[in-house]
Amino acid sequence: MNMFEFDDGREMGQGRAPEWDAARRTLAHATPPDAVEQALLRAFAKHHAPRPWYRRWSADALASWVGIGALGCALAIVGMSLLSGGAPSARIVPVMAAADDGFVALVPPERMAAAVDPQLKQADLPRAALVQMGIPIVANVPDELVHTEMMVAATGEPLAIRLAVN
Partner 1 sequence: MNESDDIQLLRAIRQGDAAAFQSLYRRHRSGLYSFALLHSGAPDVAADVVQEVFMGLLGDSYGFDPLKGMLANFLYGVARNLVLGHARRNSRWVQPTGADDEDDAFDQVDTAAGPLARLLDDEAAEHLRRALAALAPHYRDVLILFELQEKSYQEIAEICQLEIGTVRSRLARGRAALAKALAPYRDLAKDIA
Q: How far is the CB of 3 from partner 1 (least distance, A)?
A: 11
Piece in contact with partner 1 (CB under 8 A), picked from 38-46, 91-99, 121-129, 130-138: 38-46
Q: Which of 3, 13, 18, 143 binds partner 1 (CB under 8 A)?
A: 18
Binding positions for partner 1, 47-86, rule CB under 8 A: 47-48
Q: Which of 33, 85, 86, 156 binds partner 1 (CB under 8 A)?
A: 33
- Nearer to partner 1 by C-beta: 42 or 147? 42
Q: Which of 3, 13, 25, 51 binds partner 1 (CB under 8 A)?
A: 25
Distance CA 162, CA 11 (A): 112
SS (H, E, C) the chain: CCCCCCCCCCCCCCCCCHHHHHHHHHHCCCCCCHHHHHHHHHHHHHHCCCCCHHHHCCHHHHHHHHHHHHHHHHHHHHHHHHHHHHCCCCCHHHHHHCCCCCCEECCCHHHHHHCCCCEEEEEEEEHHHHHHHCCCCCCCCCCCEEEEEEEECCCCCEEEEEECCC
- Nearer to partner 1 by C-beta: 45 or 90? 45
Piece in contact with partner 1 (CB under 8 A), picked from 32-40, 54-62, 110-118, 152-160: 32-40
- Contact footprint for partner 1 (CB under 8 A): 2, 4-9, 14, 16-20, 22-33, 35-37, 39-41, 43-45, 47-48
